[in-house]
Amino acid sequence: MTYILRRLLPSFLQKSKTGAEGRKPAVYIQRCQRSTNVSQNGRRAKMKLGVLGCGRIASLHVPNILSIPGLEISWILDNNADQINSLKENFYLEDVQSYGTSDLDSLLDDNTLNGVVILSSTNTHTDYTCRALKKGKAVFVEKPAGESVEDIELCYSTAQQNNTPLLTGYNRRFDPTFSSLQKSFHAGDIGDPVFIKLTSRDCPRPSLDFLKNCDTSGCSLLSDMGIHDIDTLVWLTKAEQPESVFVQSHAHDKVMNKMGVDDALMMMVKYKSGLIASIDLVRDSVYGYDIRVEIFGSGGMLSGDPQREVSLRTDQAGRCNTSSLLYSFNQRFNQAYRNEIEHFIRCIEGTEQPLITAQESVLTAKIIEKGLESWRNKTVAYF
């Protein structure tokens, strides 16, 4: 009965809860072998995945894994018993075995395991990713794959050496709006780009404890939240290296100001081609989750507007009414999270190559490093 519920009612699995909480870049080409995980009648054969990490992001990925025919969660791994129990309870995983991190190597020795989904804290990503790849297990790792350029290069070189897929979870690549915009832009529909504007205004604000401890760089707004916008910029520009970056930020909230944690940031990125890009980030948008992208070019403009609860608009004499913006990231990018897991499975099968490349992941990390340099020194940082 539990198995049937997982497959037929994926959107209702979660129980209702409330609350808010200057070097030359290395180039790695993933050449993934075609999997044998396709049955003779062409239907996908059963595939087993292990899940590392049972925190908040796991609650987004686990239901998508359970809802895809042929996928099975073989085990979940975390050292936090409360998080394990919560994940099991919320998604009816009582029959799935759970382990601590000390058991990882023996779990990776399982020849029936096809891949792992790494959803643990960022400081564990490189270690877990490389250990899994060396055992021949395909890896999906939540962004970023490592805390430094060197860590990310190590992950991708390990993937190449072991001829095994590695996919980093930059979810906006898999969002229908962002994907359509990228295809139109790269098709030349608006000519040569002049400006790219990216906006991310979070809702609700993460906990103060998370904001204080999530990044040792001192500017989590850029390295933790802005990483998605920077990856989008790298994607749109086909991994063109910028000429310079300049970052300014401020803490408007009194409590965050005392903590020394900024809640608003603007980043300007200049390219040798003349393209200028801007990224504005806000930690607490009181009116909802506001994600926008706009590209102005010599032949027109492309824009992706923030999404609302419903698309209905009412115009009357002297007034106009629309619905509120979607509340948070899990609503706005729900389809993207599913799409990236489906893409990961096709990478395991060998029918697709990972959409996010090593070159792109490394450049995203380099832009963040230069952004942090600009932020600390309060001046323009050059590449």
Instruction: For residue 366, tell me if it sits in a domain.
Output: no
**209 and 153 share one domain:** no
Q: How confident is the model at residue 16, as a pLDDT?
A: 40
Beta-bridged to residue 300, according to DSSP, are 297
Q: How confident is the model at residue 213, as a pLDDT?
A: 76
**68 and 103 share one domain:** yes
Instruction: For residue 19, tell me if it sits in a domain.
Output: no
CA–CA dist 101, 53 (Å, integer): 9
CA–CA dist 146, 122 (Å, integer): 7
Phi, psi of 99 (to 5 degrees): -145, 165
By residue count, the chain amounts to 383
**192 and 309 share one domain:** yes
Instruction: For residue 361, tell me if it sits in a domain.
Output: no
**216 and 159 share one domain:** no
Phi, psi of 257 (to 5 degrees): -65, -45
Q: Which single residue is written with the structure tokens 């990018």?
A: 333
CA–CA dist 381, 366 (Å, integer): 11
Give the chain's domain count: 2
Beta-bridged to residue 44, according to DSSP, are 38
* Nearest partner of 164 among 145, 126, 125, 136, judged by Cα: 136
CATH number of the domain enclosing 220: 3.30.360.10
Work out the burial of residue 223: count CB atoms within 10 Å of its CB; fewer than 13 is exposed, 13-18 middle, 19 or more buried.
buried
CA–CA dist 13, 22 (Å, integer): 49
CB atoms inside a 10 Å sphere around CB 2? 11
**148 and 197 share one domain:** no
Q: Parallel, antiparallel, or unpaired: how do β-strands 264-270 and 244-250 relate? A: antiparallel
Q: What is the identity of the amino acid at 98?
A: S
Q: Sheet containing 300-304: which strands, arranged edge to edge?
A: 300-304, 290-297, 193-201, 276-282, 264-270, 244-250, 381-382
CATH number of the domain enclosing 127: 3.40.50.720
**182 and 146 share one domain:** no
Instruction: For residue 328, tell me if it sits in a domain.
Output: yes
What DSSP designation does 208 have? H
Q: What is the identity of the amino acid at 253?
A: D
**282 and 183 share one domain:** yes
Instruction: For residue 150, tell me if it sits in a domain.
Output: yes
Instruction: For residue 363, tell me if it sits in a domain.
Output: no
- The CA-CA-CA angle for residues 159, 161, 166, to 5°, reads 10
**234 and 271 share one domain:** yes
**88 and 184 share one domain:** no
Q: How confident is the model at residue 216, as a pLDDT?
A: 62
Beta-bridged to residue 247, according to DSSP, are 267
Q: Could you read off the pLDDT tens digit of each residue along the chain, which spans 383 residues?
A: 444 444 444 443 444 444 433 444 444 545 555 444 554 556 677 999 999 999 999 999 999 999 999 999 999 999 999 999 999 999 999 999 999 999 999 999 999 999 999 999 999 999 999 999 999 999 999 999 999 999 999 999 999 999 999 999 999 999 999 999 999 999 999 999 999 999 999 999 988 888 877 766 667 889 989 999 999 999 999 999 999 999 999 999 999 999 888 999 999 999 999 999 999 999 999 999 999 999 999 999 999 999 988 888 888 898 998 889 888 988 899 999 999 999 999 999 999 999 999 999 999 999 999 999 999 999 999 99
Q: Structure tokens of 276?
A: 């200028």
**227 and 339 share one domain:** no
**325 and 343 share one domain:** no
Beta-bridged to residue 17, according to DSSP, are none
CA–CA dist 59, 70 (Å, integer): 20
Q: What is the identity of the amino acid at 351?
A: T
Instruction: For residue 360, tell me if it sits in a domain.
Output: no
Instruction: For residue 182, tell me if it sits in a domain.
Output: yes
**343 and 377 share one domain:** no
Q: Structure tokens of 293?
A: 């992208």
Residues 6+ apart with CB under 8 A from 38: 44, 45, 349
- Which residue intervals of 220-355 are DSSP H helices? 220, 227-236, 254-259, 329-332, 334-349
Domain span including residue 109 = 2-14+26-170+335-352
CA–CA dist 224, 263 (Å, integer): 12
